[in-house]
Amino acid sequence: MGYPYSHDLETSTLLSRHFGDEKARTLAGWRELGGYATLPEALEMEPDRITEVVKNSGLRGRGGAGFPTGVKWSFMPQEPDGPHYLCCNADESEPGAFKDREILRWVPHLLIEGCLIAARAIRAQHVYIYVRGEFFPFSGILRDAVVEAYEGGYVGENILGSGWSCDVTVHLGAGAYIAGEETGLMSSLMGGRAEPWIKPPFPAQSGAFGRPTTVNNVETLAAVPMILQEGADWYRQWGTEKSPGTKLWCCSGHLVRPGTYELPLGIALKNVVYDVCGGAPNGKKIKAVIPGGSSTAMLTADELDCESTYEGMIEAGTALGTASPIVMNEDTNIVRAMRRIAQFYAHESCGQCVQCREGTSWTAEILHRIEGGEGTPEDIDTLYHLCEQMTGRTICPLADSVVFPLRSSLDKFRDEYEALIRS
Amino acid sequence: MTDSGDQVNKPMHPAAASSQPFQVADIRPTERLFEDSEGRDRLEKAVSRYPEKRAALLPMLGYAQERNGWVSDESMEEIADALDLTPAYVRSVATFYTMYHKHPVGRHLIQVCTCISCHLLEAEEVFERFLAETGTRAGEISADGKYTVIEAECLGACGFATAVQVNDRYFENVTPDQVPAILDELD
Amino acid sequence: MSDVAKNITLTIDGVDVSVQRGATVLQAAERAGIVVPHYCYHPGIPSRPAQCRMCLVEIEGQPKLQPSCVFPAGDGMIVHTTSESAETARKSVIEFLLLNHPLDCPICDAAGQCMLQDYAFETGQLRSRYAEAKLVLGRDRVADDILYFGDRCIVCTRCVRFMEDIAGDNALVVAQRGHKAYIDTFPGKDLDSAFRGNIVDVCPVGALVHEDFVFKARAWDLDTAPGICPGCSTGCNIDINVKENQVVRTKPRLNPEVNSYWMCDHGRRCLVMANRGVRAEAPMIRAQGELEPAGWLAALTWVAEQLGDGDGVAVVSAGAANESLFYVRALLDRLGIQGGTFTVEQGEEAALTGFPKLRLRAERAPNADGAELQGFRRSDGLPTVENGATLVVLGDALADASAEYGANAGFFLYIGSHLYPAARNATAILPAATVPEMEGTFVNYEGRVQRFHRALRSPGVARPAWLSLSRLLEHLGAADGVLEVGDAFAAMAADTVGMEGLNWGALGLRGELLSEAGQPAVAAE
């Protein structure tokens, strides 16, 4: 518990500046730390001007897909004919990712302020912050902050006397990874099974409750107040042209110093793994890293010298995802680790699309069999076939999510599969 | 409990009605949900936050569990009635989500994350140790009614492996050796 | 709007096809005569989750295969439904669906008309690569007459969406998730919708089965004839499934004007129940005090001799064909008998929210409006027969009559199919074919004249009533009788207000409305 990790790389802590400071959780404390300074300015601005600034900053969605945030906002109708909604995606469930919970529990008011500014930009009247159910301690902190913000006049009717009103509701999920997919989130918010729906309709046309809706990740929204305060160019001093800004990294697995770190985009992955996190403990070598959360392609220890940007990681054959490297040391049984990942996706498949419903569990079963020494040489061909048929065939990318690590593990660690099959 | 102290004596703010912890240790005997003012108040406040009544379904399933420790068929029917849904629909939703217990569980629901990051760091051993120490098999209630131990998929605490959730509390960086001390702390 | 009328042209598998803007690729393909295999899509169910992924097709310019059931057709679009990637994807869906499938086709009711079996036969592999133990879900009940075989279920959710979108009762749902998902009701709350039987019809596999059909027949042993449901005045278009000259099942037949793809459960039972009862198989006459069998010629000759002008009453059936009713009227005119009545059983209505035109209507007979067109009146019961008067009875009017009814008549002519107790009082019995044993027409509640076809052979020498009556009229000295049902219809149409201009052949399988002059008074609903 607590926030015990720090690192010695030269960096700027923007989102995480007040992580570990309990003062930031209360409204009074947060105001003392300079919080809610941007909101009054935003209330003076035209909504489209806010979107413009965020667009210029180059901020990209931090939930994994990296879609430009300002562009997403600009899809919302500019002449509302009824309510608009903002959904803040705090259903952080990707194995390897544990960054949003840090924002929820240390700087809840930063998130609330970001939500309000975004709501103003997209002309929304209600913000639903969808927090994964398991996060009781963190959603509780956020909930208390929202109530305080209501009492302080920052949320609700006629915010800060501006004449603009906006509600914020913290809404708990109840154990479903797929509620983190934006249409799955809205299905769940509306009181349904968290089943993704096929687009169109796109959320900006018909989202939550059939109304135009934008879904943004916690980390994305938390970055908005400072971008608006300091300007797009200021934000661009970190990161690269296409991937500006800083990013919260979630480092887990076999590391000396696992944890959450805020680092500028563009840092080399090997710096994150070895310098920030101290490499693998006990002098072990690193065998593989899944860099962006469990749904991204594995890299071998030789492939870590890649630039951690959205485009750089694609060039390296994987994805930045949620910037959540899962590090595996030389003793790791890759087949077993992959089986564990596949089991997760089989457990979390909503069950609509046939390829995902059947394919994820079949994958896990085959891997389980190979792991137990019962595999056959044909199993590897079948796994490749499954990779083929689970890619780009389904409503949402959950099936693809198991393919990325699976295919890369087959490509890069085939000898480990074959060794188990021979045994 | 995560309620901060100064909130306790005030009526619940409607904005908070959809985010109350619903895995709690103090389980009241199974009782009707909306026949007292507390239940009606929670229903009314949750419903007030959404343009459609149906959206209060997850909060109300959570409330049923908060109150009774699990979600019974009777609770589902009561919720269906309150939200103008069919009981079948409520069940369809309740069975989609893993956190709603369709059967009673022990007073301390111990969920050990065995997903990838925790798996790499002794999670299975922690899980086995919890089973051994509580004398239960996965998913069953211990003879004294105190514990149910289950494996959980990612709890979102990957950097603090192994993560264990007991009701609404997180225990992090848990090693197998710490298991007895955690169990002691629960009582 | 003029935009709606605008057509777009696309090319599917090399075939150019024009469709209205808004049509999906799957609909366009259908128009081009190309079947895109699918499971979750059903043309009668509005929601389209695109979840079975069977209808994926390749569309030039699209990076991924697209579900044709929801992808809008575009002008100039080039679609390949049988390209390698589309075929491979489809084949793979079949493989996925068969992983946990029990392959119990030899005992499955759907075998022979199963979309999984068909596509697996077309595209599947001989050997499954699945080496794991199959998931066993077992058998459950979702209604007192419908079973659910979870192992066979492919979770296409058609049944769930029929109940929600069409029946308006969200009582059937998907429980659990992922590969553990299955279809279920709430414990203790089985389906009680009057239209629940349709979930069996929409099931593309053998997961949902009618209990009264289970293990009864194989699909390929069934003969099928298009009929009209006799259960109420809606006149649902149906397919009658017959095995060994018995109706074993009734299924709805598409008619967008009447019943769409649906019918009610009351209707499903009607014809199956009609297998029962004691039939009149040969003409019978009371020449020497007792009813004795006779040949048709002898019987008709004798009846013609015995029937005289004078007082009389007539009772007909609202379940009889228009053609038969018309010739009863002609006979009555010949005998100088006025009037004639029929009774209609009344029952509770049941509405179908997703297709309001279809209701189980209160009048539980298919042709009350047709009987009125022939000058018969609705009545609460059987007319009193004066001693010595002539009594003419057509059809099942005597089903509930007391055993003495008609015993005091001077001459009691019964033209009917079943030997009800009161029918045994008849002076002459002309054995009639039941509706599924003949061709003819009904007029439904909104004045739609609909044809039904012959599904069964009549027992013995029973004949359609219109035929024996037209022969009897010949014996009574009228013009030459008709031998073909089309001619009977033509004779009736020429002589019936509202039917002028109707043509037997042109009625086809969708029927035609009566002209305004013949419209039933209650049609304005």
Q: What angle do CA A359, A362, A364 make, to 5 degrees?
A: 110
CA dihedral A14, A17, A22, A27 (to 10 degrees): -40
Which of B12, B19, B93 would best serve as a mutation to test chain A binding (most A beta carbons within 10 A)? B19
Where would I find the beta strands (DSSP E) of A153-245? 167-172, 213-217
Integer Cα distance of C391 and C384 in angstroms: 10
- Please name the chains neighbouring C, where neighbouring means 3+ C-beta pairs under 8 angstroms: A, B
Interface contact flag, A389 C88, Cβ < 8 Å: yes
CA distance C184 to chain B (A): 8
User: In B97-163, which residue ranges form alpha helices assigned H by DSSP?
Assistant: 116-119, 123-134
Integer Cα distance of C232 and C225 in angstroms: 19
Decide: B45 and B17 in contact? Cβ < 8 Å: yes
CA distance A349 to chain C (A): 5
pTM: 0.94
Phi and psi dihedrals of A25, rounded to 5? -75, -25
C-alpha R_g of chain C: 27
Integer Cα distance of A354 and A260 in angstroms: 36
* pLDDT of B17 strictly over 90: yes
What DSSP designation does B139 have? T
Q: One-letter amino acid identity for A312?
A: G
Which of C52, C70, C179 lies nearest to residue A349, judging by beta carbons? C179
Q: How far is CA C211 from the centre of its chain?
A: 19
What DSSP designation does B23 have? -
Which residues partner with C350 through β-bridges? Answer: C360
Integer Cα distance of C304 and C285 in angstroms: 12
Which of C41, C53, C54, C180 would best serve as a mutation to test chain A binding (most A beta carbons within 10 A)? C53
| Tokens, residue A385 | 């076939």
| Tokens, residue B156 | 């979102």
Which of B52, B93, B102, B116 would best serve as a mutation to test chain A binding (most A beta carbons within 10 A)? B116
CA atoms within 13 A on the CB side of A383: 31
* Closest chain A CA to residue C62: A392
Decide: A38 and A32 in contact? Cβ < 8 Å: no
Integer Cα distance of C9 and C74 in angstroms: 7
Which of A176, A365, A389 lies nearest to residue C89, judging by beta carbons? A389
Average pLDDT over residues B124-144: 96
CA distance C253 to chain A (A): 29
Interface contact flag, A354 C54, Cβ < 8 Å: yes
Interface contact flag, C186 B95, Cβ < 8 Å: no
Interface contact flag, B86 C176, Cβ < 8 Å: no
Integer Cα distance of C308 and C63 in angstroms: 84
CA distance A230 to chain B (A): 31
What DSSP designation does A65 have? T
Interface contact flag, A394 C53, Cβ < 8 Å: yes
Phi and psi dihedrals of A32, rounded to 5? -60, -35
**Per-residue pLDDT tens digits for B34-78:** 999 999 999 999 999 999 999 999 999 999 999 999 999 999 999
Decide: C69 and C171 in contact? Cβ < 8 Å: no
Integer Cα distance of A151 and A71 in angstroms: 33
Q: How far is CA C15 from the centre of its chain?
A: 35
Interface contact flag, A254 B93, Cβ < 8 Å: no
Decide: C323 and C466 in contact? Cβ < 8 Å: yes
Q: Regarding beta strands C246-252 and C146-149, do their DSSP bridges make them parallel or antiparallel, or are they unpaired?
A: unpaired
* pLDDT of B10 strictly over 90: no
pLDDT at C24: 97
**Residue C505 to residues C33, C251, C502: CA-CA distances in angstroms?**
25, 24, 9
Burial of C122 (0-12, 13-18, 19+ CB in 10 A): exposed
pLDDT at B26: 60
- As separate numbers, helices (DSSP H) first and strands (DSSP E) second, chain C gives 13, 26
Tokens 């211990």 belong to residue: B142
* Closest chain A CA to residue C63: A392
Interface contact flag, A98 B156, Cβ < 8 Å: yes
Which of B153, B168, B175 would best serve as a mutation to test chain A binding (most A beta carbons within 10 A)? B153
Integer Cα distance of C201 and C447 in angstroms: 28
C403: how many CB neighbours lie within 10 A of its CB? 13
pLDDT at C137: 80
What DSSP designation does A3 have? -
CA atoms within 13 A on the CB side of B118: 34
CA distance B36 to chain A (A): 23
Interface contact flag, A193 C54, Cβ < 8 Å: no
Residues of chain A with confidence (pLDDT) below 70? 1-12
* Closest chain C CA to residue A361: C179
Which of B58, B110, B169 would best serve as a mutation to test chain A binding (most A beta carbons within 10 A)? B58
What DSSP designation does C261 have? T
Respond yes or no on whether ipTM tops 0.90. yes
Length of chain A: 423
Q: Which residues, other chains included, contact B170 with Cβ-Cβ below 8 Å and sequence gap of 6+?
A: A1, A137, B155, B157, B163, B164
Interface contact flag, C177 A354, Cβ < 8 Å: no
Better pLDDT: C456 or B6: C456
Per-residue pLDDT of chain C (525 residues; tens, 9 = 90+): 445 557 999 999 999 999 999 999 999 999 999 999 999 999 999 999 999 999 999 999 999 999 999 999 999 999 999 999 999 999 999 999 999 999 999 999 999 999 999 999 888 777 888 888 888 887 899 999 999 999 999 999 999 999 999 999 999 999 999 999 999 999 999 999 999 999 999 999 999 999 989 888 999 999 999 999 999 999 999 999 999 999 999 999 999 999 999 999 999 999 988 778 899 999 999 999 899 999 999 999 999 999 987 789 999 999 999 999 999 999 999 999 999 999 999 999 999 999 999 999 999 999 999 999 999 999 999 999 999 999 999 999 999 999 999 999 999 999 999 999 999 999 999 999 999 999 999 999 999 999 999 999 999 999 999 999 999 999 998 877 899 999 999 999 999 999 998 999 999 999 999 998 888 765 444
Which of A347, A365, A392 lies nearest to residue C178, judging by beta carbons? A347
pLDDT at C481: 81
- Please name the chains neighbouring A, where neighbouring means 3+ C-beta pairs under 8 angstroms: B, C
Integer Cα distance of A354 and C89 in angstroms: 11
Integer Cα distance of C250 and C259 in angstroms: 14
pLDDT at C2: 47
Interface contact flag, C177 A350, Cβ < 8 Å: yes
**Residue A275 to residues A7, A271, A272, A279: CA-CA distances in angstroms?**
9, 5, 6, 7
Integer Cα distance of A331 and A340 in angstroms: 16
The SS3 assignment for A143 reads: helix
* Cα torsion A271, A277, A282, A284: sign: negative
Interface contact flag, A260 B7, Cβ < 8 Å: no
Helix (H) or strand (E) holding C471: helix C465-475
Integer Cα distance of C279 and C53 in angstroms: 52
* pLDDT of B79 strictly over 60: yes
* Closest chain C CA to residue A359: C96
A184: how many CB neighbours lie within 10 A of its CB? 26
User: In C218-281, which residue ranges form alpha helices assigned H by DSSP?
Assistant: 265-273
Q: Which residues of C touch B86 (CB under 8 A)?
A: 169-171, 186
What DSSP designation does B4 have? -
CA distance C1 to chain A (A): 23
* Cα torsion B74, B75, B78, B79: sign: negative
Which of C172, C176, C177 lies nearest to residue B88, judging by beta carbons? C172
Integer Cα distance of C413 and C423 in angstroms: 9
CA distance C357 to chain A (A): 28
Q: Which residues of B touch A144 (CB under 8 A)?
A: 2-4, 7, 16
| Tokens, residue A129 | 């912050």
Decide: C25 and C71 in contact? Cβ < 8 Å: yes
Q: How far is CA C226 from the centre of its chain?
A: 7
- Straight-line distance from the first to the last Cα atom of chain B, in angstroms, rounded to the nearest whole number: 15
C335: how many CB neighbours lie within 10 A of its CB? 20
Helix axes B73-82, B87-96, angle to 10 degrees: 120
Interface contact flag, C176 B96, Cβ < 8 Å: yes
CA distance C330 to chain B (A): 56
Q: How far is CA B70 from the centre of its chain?
A: 8
Decide: A395 and A196 in contact? Cβ < 8 Å: yes
Decide: C50 and C69 in contact? Cβ < 8 Å: yes
What DSSP designation does C165 have? I
